[in-house]
Structure 1
Amino acid sequence: MRSSSGKIVVFTALPLEYRAVRAWVADPQRVDHEAGTIFECGRIPGTAWEVYLSQVGQGNQGAAVLTERAIRMIGPDAVFFTGIAGGLKHDIALGDVVVATRIFAYHGGKQEETFKNRPETWPASHRLEQAARFAVLDPQWAETLLPAGRDAPDVHFKPIAAGEVVVNAQASALQSLLDEHYNGVAAIETEGAGFAGAASMADQVPALVIRGISDRADGSKQHTDSGGFQITAAENAAAMTIAVIKTLVTPTALEAELPPSRADTVGAPAVASPPASQQLKEPLPVVWRRKLLPPWSNESATLEVHLLPEDSFRLPMRQMNQLKDDLVSLGRSEGVFTATEEVSSVLEANFTAAFVRDPRHGRSIGLMITRSGQRSYWESLPRPSRLHMPVLDPEHTRERIADLLRLLLRLHDVLQDRFAPALAIDPAEILTVMNLDAAKVSNGATLARGGHGGPVRIPPDEVWDAATIGAAVPIIAEELTLRLMQHFRSPHEHQ
């Protein structure tokens, strides 16, 4: 594990972006890299973080080189890229801020009779994304960070596309590519892919891209630039970046919060306990996938994960109609669906869903939102080619549940305070419990399902607030996995 340094690096591309961040750095001092790169180092008032600033210029290549250089020289706990971008969504206004949940390098591909895109993608650091979401829960988050009289911009948590060209045309081959294969992205820019890729390769340093929308990438850039939107967008993105840094707990504060060690626990293994939850008197009513989208006759074992809001409400049909399209684009942007596979979508009176069913390859995967606010995801258990049945690997399942809880938390923009998770394996009659690596070289396995067949379900009987779930996903996922595994035993355990 990387030791803490108490340092953060903030990268920008343009001078106006750099100045917008530098305005918040107290007593900046010049620091030179041996290769000539110039940084400035100071502190953000009200925090203990040591912040380094760097201007990398435009382009992914320069961003990648200088990000790697800064990480080697400074050893930061986190890195940010902040600045302006072109907006790709009509419901995101000029001056709004987009916090990138994922970065797509959209120029990768293979040109044959048709262009087959091969994008690279990097998710946002969960820790930094959670800090950003927490920062904007305060409606006054930008009050002291923006010029007097300016309203706080709306903040959107959406994917961003990063390429090698500045897009400023309403109709072009590039716009068609983006619309067809990257419909879920909210903004486009030219540095995020290099930055995110370098941070990912440098020992997985937490990284986050924050962009202010300065134009529409539709041919109107000259007009919006002359209208001052570049400066507004840069200042808004800088304000959001500073707000996130202020939200991050410094290493020294974390150490101060740790309980004193006890002599009788020295040498004992640390066991993480689930965060405090409220036990519900009765489980919340859950809409299992089988009720709305029954599995096909030969469908293999499928894991489904649900988040149910504690407080009941009803989404308007107009919003459900919009969600029908959003689930497809979100699924593609989050890597749920591939960029080229055909995704089915459905809108019914009580739910909307986007899914893929491929009986030939045993693939079933999908996203769903009900009008009551339930968020759901399902995917087939892995099925190594040497075996004739799906594999339930406890460690792999725990990791998947953690990833899916994070996905469901950001699936829908309506903020809910408290959620109860639920799990199921359905169908569950034919599967084996074993390590996936072992399954890949195994020639046989034993059935592990006990009882009388049918689905195995873990009801939503414990509720946590959303912030707690986000901060303690690994622990909650482990607890849910242990409860799930109690239902699956090898034959000799039934005797």
Structure 2
Amino acid sequence: MGSSGGKIVIFTALLLEYRAVRGQMEDLQRLDHEAGTIFERGRIPGTSWEVYITQVGQGNQTAAIMTERAIRMIAPEAVFFTGIAGGLKHDLVLGDVVVATRVFAYHGGKQEESFKARPETWQASHRLEQTARYVARDPQWAAGQHPSGQDGPEVHFKPIAAGEVVVNAPTSTLHDLLDEHYNGVAAIETEGAGFAGAASMSDQVPALVIRGISDRADGSKQHTDSGGFQQLAANNAAAMTVAVIKALAPSRAAKIPGPTGQATSKLGLLSGDEPVSAQLEELLPVAWRRKLLPSWSNQGATLEVHLVPERSLRLPMRQMSQLKEGLVSVGRKEKVFTPSEAVASALEADFVATFARDQRRGSVGLAISQSGQRSCWEPLPSPSRIHIPVLDPEHTKERVEGLLRLLLRLQEVPQTRYAPALAIDPAETLTVTSLKSAANSNSVSLARGGRSGPVQIIPQELWDAADISAAAPTIAEELTLRLMLHFRNSGDGWNF
């Protein structure tokens, strides 16, 4: 079956959820995974998307396995998990829909004298969430789901919690935990964390969880289930999911036929082609590290890498506050920070940062500005034999390539273009040579003769977000060559 809009996968846990989605599709065909998972492939009337649906059963572990399996097999442009959930807020009416702005895996923590929550969290795809908000502004999105003249369900954009327990009691230890540590959570379910985590680890595939409220998680579940609210909630969640897909414009990453009949890759490139950039027409402002954290500018030579968005994204302060904790978790997971070192966070009006400052290792950190700029930094290596930082072009190129990919993993990447930037700051005390040479030498010359100030390689090119990971070697080589050119032109007498 051909499609010009790309592929989408919808996951459900229960049969009634699956039927609610399936009932809005046509031209269904069976597709079997080699491990036995059965998908149905079809289309939603009025769209060009190729849509796959499957029922994964209950539980986060199963959801994670099935999500990873589907992403590998189908290579979708977006994935959705739709179904029912228990409501935790009084302003939610049975049948209302919750679009998860963030998913909390709430069982993570450490029990000492008191419980200390350590949740894993995943942010909703910006592109999918924005599409859902666009859909929700039109009261006709659920047309056909309810009798004429009857109000459709409200759509709430709030966090949800996902664990391994079906909650159905008015009071419990679990209720107390959720109220104390996850008070902003609107609904609770048992698959979203596994789904969101697997999508995040599969090259940041855009993912969104959409749930209909079928009960209040307060002991009344048997009554509400017998009253038909499970079916109502499943139908409303499915209708919202379908409405989002109908409104979702295929991104530049969609597979489309090439001029010779070949299909382009998910990056929008013909097989074997290299990603291409566009020249900046005007300079983009960069929030360099010394601007974010000015008191740190007197530390040893530090490499910093930035991705500056073509247009300001203006992240809401609510999201910035959530990122404050999220960056710490990502930093430890990505080994930016060692397991034992103390990590601090800062939330300011225009940026959020997490960092460690070790007297021997130097400064390392991550930051996201309110405009959407992504930044990371780490010290240049300092071999013990010479005791000063070394700028090795090959090592620098490798680190810039790795840090560019790290920046893409900090959170869901909005579908816009980014301009890479690079700096060494401060740069008055370092040497330019290979690490191998430095390790075998007893003396080296300073690269800039004691002159102070940073070396900043300003952005010159724009890259599509979807292309940056594949183009990372090219971008890293370009930035490193420009950096080396600066040192050659500064009269340091070093040849490369």
Return the TM-score normalized by structure 2.
Answer: 0.64
For residues 448 and 276 of structure 2, what CA distance do their matches in structure 1 show?
28
User: 2:131 & 2:260 partners in 1: Cα distance?
Assistant: 22
Structure 1 contact 302–380 (Cα < 8 Å) conserved:
yes
- Give the conservation status (yes or no) of the 8 Å contact 1:302–1:379: yes
* Deviation (angstroms), 1:363: 3.8
Equivalent in the alignment of 1:472: 467
* Counterpart among 400, 404, 409 of residue 401 in structure 1: 404
Distance in 2 between residues matched to 1:430 and 1:92, nearest whole Å: 60
2:21 alignment counterpart: 21
For 1:235, the equivalent position in structure 2 comes to: 239
In structure 2, the CA distance between the partners of 1:104 and 1:140, relative to structure 1 (3 Å rule), is: closer
* Counterpart residue type for residue 95 of structure 1: V
- Choose which of 307, 322, 327 in structure 2 pairs with 1:331: 327
Percent of paired sites with the same residue: 38
Tell me whether 1:482 sits opposite 2:478 in the alignment. Answer: yes
Aligned residue type for 1:97: V
Q: 5+ unaligned residues in a row in structure 2: which ranges? A: 1-5, 145-150, 265-271
Q: 3-state DSSP class of the match of 1:398?
A: helix
Q: Is the 8 A contact 1:13 1:57 kept in 2?
A: yes
Partners of 1:300 and 1:200 lie apart in 2 by 33
Q: Which moved more, 1:43-52 or 1:251-260?
A: 251-260
SS of the counterpart of 2:28? strand
Q: Does 1:279 align with 2:274?
A: no
8 Å CA contact retained: 2:92, 2:213: no
Question: Per the alignment, in what secondary structure is the counterpart of residue 494 of structure 2?
Answer: helix
**8 Å contact kept, 1:210–1:240:** no
Instruction: State the alpha-carbon separation in 2 of the partners of residues 91 and 443 from structure 1.
Output: 69
Given the superposition, is the C-alpha separation of residues 408 and 184 from structure 1 closer, same or farther in structure 2, using an over 3 Å criterion? farther
Tell me the equivalent position of 2:377.
Answer: 379
- For the aligned residue pairs, the C-alpha RMSD in angstroms reads 5.7
SS in 1 for 2:208: strand
**Cα distance in 1 between the residues matched to 2:465 and 2:17:** 30
Matched-pair contact (CA < 8 Å) for 1:303–1:379: yes
User: Paired residue for 2:296?
Assistant: 295
Q: Distance in 1 between matches of 2:164 and 2:34?
A: 28
* Residue segments in structure 1 that go unaligned for 5+ positions in a row: 1-5, 261-268
For 2:142 and 2:350, locate their aligned partners in 1 and report how far apart those are by CA, in whole Å: 40
Q: Which amino acid aligns with 1:427?
A: P
Contact map agreement 1:87 1:213 (CA 8 A) in 2: no
Within-5 A mapping of 1:95-494: 95-98=97-100, 105=105, 107=107, 129=125, 132=128, 146-147=142-143, 153=155, 162-166=162-166, 189-195=189-195, 204=202, 207-215=205-213, 219=217, 228-229=232-233, 231-241=235-245, 243-244=247-248, 251=255, 253-254=257-258, 270-274=273-277, 276-280=278-282, 283-293=283-293, 294-295=295-296, 297-305=298-306, 307=308, 325-332=321-328, 334-335=330-331, 343-347=344-348, 351-360=350-359, 361-367=361-367, 369=369, 373=371, 375=373, 377-381=375-379, 383=381, 389=389, 393-404=396-407, 407=410, 422-430=421-429, 449-450=447-448, 452-460=451-459, 469-474=464-469, 475=471, 478-479=474-475, 482-488=478-484, 493-494=494-495
| 1:92-117 deviations in Å (ceiling 9; x for gaps) | 995242366xx765545666677687
Q: Which amino acid aligns with 1:469?
A: D
Residues 27 and 42 in structure 1, CA contact (< 8 A), matched pair in contact too: yes
CA spacing shift, 1:220–1:334, aligned 2, 3 Å: farther
Amino acid in structure 2 at the alignment position of 1:212: I
Judging changes above 3 Å, is the alpha-carbon distance between structure 1 residues 47 and 309 closer, same or farther for their aligned structure 2 residues?
A: closer
Q: Deviations over 1:27-76 (max 9, x none)?
A: 3345678988654343344566654422122112433555577679xx32
- Measured in 2, the distance between the counterparts of 1:385 and 1:174 equals 51
Structure 1 position 212, deviation (Å): 1.9
Contact 1:305 1:421 in 2 (8 A): yes
Aligned residue pairs: how many? 449
> TM-score scaled to structure 1, two decimals?
0.64
